[in-house]
Amino acid sequence: MPPQTHIDLIAVLPLENLSRDPDQEYFADGMTEALITDLGKVSALRVVSRTSMMHYKGTRKTLPEIARELDVDGIVEGSVQRSGSRVRITAQLIQAVDDRHLWAETYERDLHNVLALQGEVARAITNEIQIKLTPQEHTRLSSARRVNPEAYEAYLKGRYYLVKWTDEGSKLAIEYFQQAINKDPKCAVAYASLAEVYVTNSPLPRKDSVASAKAAATKALELDDTLGEAHTPLAIIRYQYDWDWTGAGEEFKRAIALNPNDTETHHQYSHYWMGMGRTEESYAESKRSLELDPLLPAINLHLGFHYLFARQYDQAIQQLQKTLQMDPNSPEALGWLGYAYEQKRMYPEALAAFGKAIAISGGISSYRASLAHTYAVSGKRREAQKLLDELSKEGYSPLSIAEVETALGHKDKAFEWLERAYRQRDSDLAEFFKMNPRFDSLRSDPRFQDLLRRMNFPP
């Protein structure tokens, strides 16, 4: 009798593109993401995210090596081939502990039925590892409408460019998602992805981005209220822009109930909890997102951010240094590391980190503002004031300017800039105000508590 299969954490390797046509890579990547998403909707299973798995695209590493790196119990590998209107997926499941092949199967459908094909593969995997689906999960994996092939292709191309996380990629993603919607006005996933672009990396002004994201997410949920990926953009808007903390929490809970393995939702939920000062809940969500996406530097960086705002500065430094080992030229990691050094009064190290972040990023204002803050708290007031004057003229983030004014002891000016951030509905105000160590000297001022009250923070 073979040993009992026990798989709790699973990884899906990028499906091999058997067409050998480089122009079809978006299709193979899209099928991989779809399979990860379908498996991720199963609450009894943990699934490593797409971004970590794409590190292994074209890898020569053995399956046991990959399993050890990710600390997973099982691995799915396979291939996808598209020929005209037909799609064929071959998949196999391997138990990581002994490199034992558990199951293999080939599925073929017309492109109109590609969603049913994806759900069938996911159900076969959960059956093999004896995962019990809830009635709702079984329905979601079994019920799939026919798609417009041209619309679905445009949607997959949009996803391909969206996850590049570049300005140009975001513009192309919006174009393709809009093409998908034009071809099929009932394509709910295209609306949900459109909302994701507008929330995460929009080319539009802030106010227009929020309106566009709300409209797209609302339409997605009108078409399909089981799309967790549509609830997440609404949750982000409700806490960052509307300051509706209760409504945001409800949207996050709904998103996680629908897709317990969505890394971005757990990541943003952690930001939500930290914004409210709930550090334990923030830590739990940050750890969960890291568990699901261990190889993504941004998620590793986020845990460092958590430690920083929880005032665990030694842990923050350690985690951010680990992130820099993954990506030595990350200005974000250098920026947060400089912040942690500053709070430890390690001013030379802080100045060096901010200086390097400025050099790598091409002079991005956020790192110049942090440099000005460190100048101020370390006694270099002239240098701080010079940078502050430049940032003020550039119309940079009111919250960051308020930080520097606070460090210089200009409380009234600091509150003037905080009021400006309030009037502008600055998203940073929700995330980085209440728990920000740089505002500690303002906490006893009645204006500080009044601002928290007007932002609807729970007591």
| pLDDT digits 0-9 by tens, 378-428 | 999 999 999 999 998 888 899 999 999 999 999 999 999 999 999 999 989
Q: What kind and span of H or E run contains 82? A: strand 74-83
Scored b (16 or more CB within 10 A) or e, 251-274 reads bbebbbebbbbbbbbbbbbbbbbb
* DSSP bridge partners of 91: 78, 105
Considering only CA atoms, which of 187, 208, 185 is closest in space to residue 197?
208
In residues, how long is the chain? 459
User: For the residues 216-244, what does the mean pLDDT come to?
Assistant: 96
% of the chain exceeding 90 in pLDDT = 78
pLDDT of residue 23: 82
pLDDT of residue 58: 85
Higher-pLDDT residue of 381 and 129 is: 381
- Where residue 425 falls (left for φ over 0; alpha for ψ -120 to 50; beta otherwise) is left
Reported confidence tier of residue 312, pLDDT bands at 50, 70, 90? very high
Q: What are phi and psi of 81, to 5 degrees?
A: -135, 130
Superfamily of domain 9-146, CATH level 4: TolB, N-terminal domain (3.40.50.10070)
Whether 293 contacts 48, CB under 8 Å? yes
User: For the residues 285-298, what does the mean pLDDT come to?
Assistant: 93
**Are β-strands 16-17 and 86-95 bridged in parallel, bridged antiparallel, or unpaired?**
unpaired
Higher-pLDDT residue of 252 and 427 is: 252
Domain segments of the chain as ranges: 9-146, 387-459
Amino acid letter for position 199: V
- pTM comes to 0.92
pLDDT of residue 1: 37
Lowest-confidence segment of 143-152, 254-263, 427-436 by average pLDDT: 143-152
pLDDT of residue 133: 86
**pLDDT, tens only, 35-78:** 999 999 999 999 999 999 999 998 888 888 999 999 999 999 99
CA atoms within 13 A on the CB side of 262: 25
| CA 376 to the chain's CA centroid | 33
Residue 2 scores a pLDDT above 70: no
**pLDDT, tens only, 76-108:** 999 999 888 899 999 999 998 788 888 999 999
pLDDT of residue 364: 87
**pLDDT, tens only, 21-43:** 888 899 999 999 999 999 999 99
Cα separation, 246 vs 169, whole angstroms: 33
E-assigned strands of 150-260?
none
Residue 429 scores a pLDDT above 80: yes
Cα separation, 273 vs 59, whole angstroms: 37
Locate all alpha helices (DSSP H) within 310-410, ordered by sequence.
313-326, 331-343, 347-361, 365-377, 381-394, 398-407
Cα separation, 29 vs 15, whole angstroms: 7
Considering only CA atoms, which of 77, 98, 71, 74 is closest in space to residue 89?
77
